[in-house]
Structure 1
Amino acid sequence: MPLETFLVVVYGHVCGALQAVIPGGNPRRRGFPPKLSDAEALTMAFIGTVLGYRSDKAVWESFRRHGATGFPHLGDRSTFVRQLANLGHVKAFLHRHWARRLGAFEAKGHLVDGFPIPMCHPKRVNRHTLSGRSGWGGFCAAKEADYFGFHGLVLTTVDGVIAGVALTAAHVDERDALLERIRGALLGDKGFICPLLTEECSEMDIELHTP
């Protein structure tokens, strides 16, 4: 599919989803509407992710470099980045909407896994700006190493549809950030081995399987 056609298709899906999750389809309740509409900004962000860009700055640079194809009102980089930052909660609404449309919560099987997000080397913890906050240290069993920062968690269906993403401080047990509205089989690694968790999952009609 040509990129121009893909842009139109994604834009149409974004506009339709905004109408479904936000009354009137407009995330803004006050203020002047931006020249680059929120639907256009979100479309650019989603297209940029598909193309492999890992930051809003890189997305803006790509569209600017190619003449802002399809987005004549693309402004400066800082405005674009701020606009997407303010739409973070809208992205979460859209994700839940599309995940539900794809049957992510009703699927018979799910996979769950966590991963460390280090902020700095453990030797520099005392000099880090977050060091005054207790509990930011964690342990990565896969690498058998302590780290300082955050812990990510991703829940997907067996077909690869992302059903949920969570971010916690490193000391929070990944099992505590688990499961919202899923049922059926759940496959996790050895970090999810816990009789109490198995019992709690059973009460929610979730059959937990671990190594």
Structure 2
Amino acid sequence: MNLDDFIITCFYWIDEMMPSILEGRRLRRRGPQPKLTDSEVLTMEVVGTYLGLNQEKRLLNFFRQHYRHFFPALHQLHRSTFVRQAANLWAVKERMWCWVRDELVRHDPLVGIVESVPVPVCRFARAPWCVRFRGSASYGKDHADRQTFYGFRLHLRLGWPGVITHGFLAPANEPDGEIAPLVLQGTQGIVLGDRGSWLPDLQAELREQGLLLQAPYRRAHAPLAAAFHSPVLGRVRYLIDTVFGQLTDRCQLKRVWARDCWHLRNRLLRLFLMHTLCVWFNQQDDLPRLLLDRFVA
């Protein structure tokens, strides 16, 4: 599949899903209709996110330069109008992502993986003077880089074999044990976590809700059974690291250009929508679910 085919495929399925998402209701009750249709804007966002164009200016310039024949009204549109229209569609992205996740993608809802990834909003040296997300962001520890950062932590739950099913954005100082019940709300079955999820009180609370939280034992004097299962759980749980790597490297998750939570939420939702659509396209062709490199030859 080349890039032209990928754009056409995304537009076709997004345009086909719009009536089911809107359920016969109109998005705009009054005023003039936008020059670009909502399906075109969502397609540009999904494809641009896949290509790593995380800034609206770069995204708009790319499609104006290379794909004006696909979007003929693009040259008449101002950048601020495009950004506003895209951000106002955040609820449509959320419903579309949930609809693809629940109705189209095949995954096991009883087997999940939960973990979090740091999302810094600025460089650490600028944090005391940063006015973005003031009152929302906080200081936290990035255990992978072994350093302190200022921003948020994105908590995700994956459904086997790699579908993003739930997400929650929390300040960086919130421990994973307090956010895990929010991410796992409404789910059942077995959930795999990291060593930070080995919390007996949390596991007992989730067990009462029908959830079995399995995490590698983090103490040297672990019981024999827990010590035996820890490497196995670690190898299976590394699947979420693959997803985090795709969101970080391809989609530049850790480069936050948004200035408020509204635009940041919109960006995260289009990440989820892009990733879930690509997983579904791979399922349609009976290919590995997380093989995202194939869409651009």
- Under TM normalisation by the shorter chain, which class is it? 0.7 to 0.9
- What are the superposed Cα offsets for residues 40-88 of structure 1, whole Å, 9 maximum, x if unpaired? 1001111222333223332211111114232111123222222111112
Whole-angstrom CA distance in 1 between matches of 2:7 and 2:136: 45
Q: Is residue 136–residue 170 contact of structure 1 (8 Å, CA) maintained in 2? A: yes
Counterpart position of 2:86: 84
Return the structure number with greater helix share.
2
- What are the superposed Cα offsets for residues 91-138 of structure 1, whole Å, 9 maximum, x if unpaired? 11111111112145x523111211112234555443332697387222
**Gap change, CA 1:84 and 1:113, over 3 Å in 2:** same
Matched, 1:15 2:39: no
Q: Which of residues 178, 195, 203 is equivalent to 1:198?
A: 203
Q: SS of the counterpart of 2:46?
A: helix
Q: TM-score, normalised by structure 2?
A: 0.63
Q: Is residue 140–residue 146 contact of structure 1 (8 Å, CA) maintained in 2? A: yes
Between 16-25 and 149-158, the greater mean CA deviation after superposition: 16-25
**Gap change, CA 1:15 and 1:138, over 3 Å in 2:** same
| Corresponding letter in the other structure for 1:95 | W
Q: Is residue 155–residue 163 contact of structure 1 (8 Å, CA) maintained in 2? A: yes
Whole-angstrom CA distance in 1 between matches of 2:136 and 2:56: 31
**Gap change, CA 1:140 and 1:50, over 3 Å in 2:** closer
Whole-angstrom CA distance in 2 between matches of 1:30 and 1:184: 46
Instruction: Provide structure 1 residue ranges, at least 5 long, that are not aligned to the other structure.
Output: none
> What is the alpha-carbon root mean square deviation over aligned residues?
2.5
Counterpart position of 2:191: 186
Q: Which of residues 126, 129, 142 is equivalent to 1:127?
A: 129
Q: SS of the counterpart of 1:24?
A: coil
| Corresponding letter in the other structure for 2:90 | G
Q: Is residue 35–residue 73 contact of structure 1 (8 Å, CA) maintained in 2? A: yes
**Gap change, CA 1:96 and 1:67, over 3 Å in 2:** closer
- RCO (CA 8 Å, sep 6+): is it higher in 1 or 2? 2
Matched, 1:97 2:102: no
User: Where in structure 2 are the equivalents of 1:17-166 lying within 5 Å?
Assistant: 17-24=17-24, 26-74=26-74, 75-101=77-103, 102-104=105-107, 106-122=108-124, 124-129=126-131, 133=135, 136-166=138-168
Matched, 1:172 2:174: yes
Whole-angstrom CA distance in 1 between matches of 2:163 and 2:67: 33
**Gap change, CA 1:53 and 1:128, over 3 Å in 2:** closer
Whole-angstrom CA distance in 2 between matches of 1:14 and 1:79: 21
Q: Is residue 188–residue 211 contact of structure 2 (8 Å, CA) maintained in 1? A: yes
Whole-angstrom CA distance in 2 between matches of 1:171 and 1:71: 43
Whole-angstrom CA distance in 2 between matches of 1:123 and 1:2: 42
Between 144-153 and 24-33, the greater mean CA deviation after superposition: 24-33
Shift of the alpha carbon at 1:166?
1.7
Task: Report how many aligned residue pairs link the two structures.
Answer: 210
Whole-angstrom CA distance in 1 between matches of 2:10 and 2:123: 40
| Corresponding letter in the other structure for 1:185 | I
Q: TM-score, normalised by structure 1?
A: 0.85
Question: Share of identical aligned residues, percent?
Answer: 31
**Gap change, CA 1:132 and 1:43, over 3 Å in 2:** closer
Q: Is residue 152–residue 168 contact of structure 1 (8 Å, CA) maintained in 2? A: yes
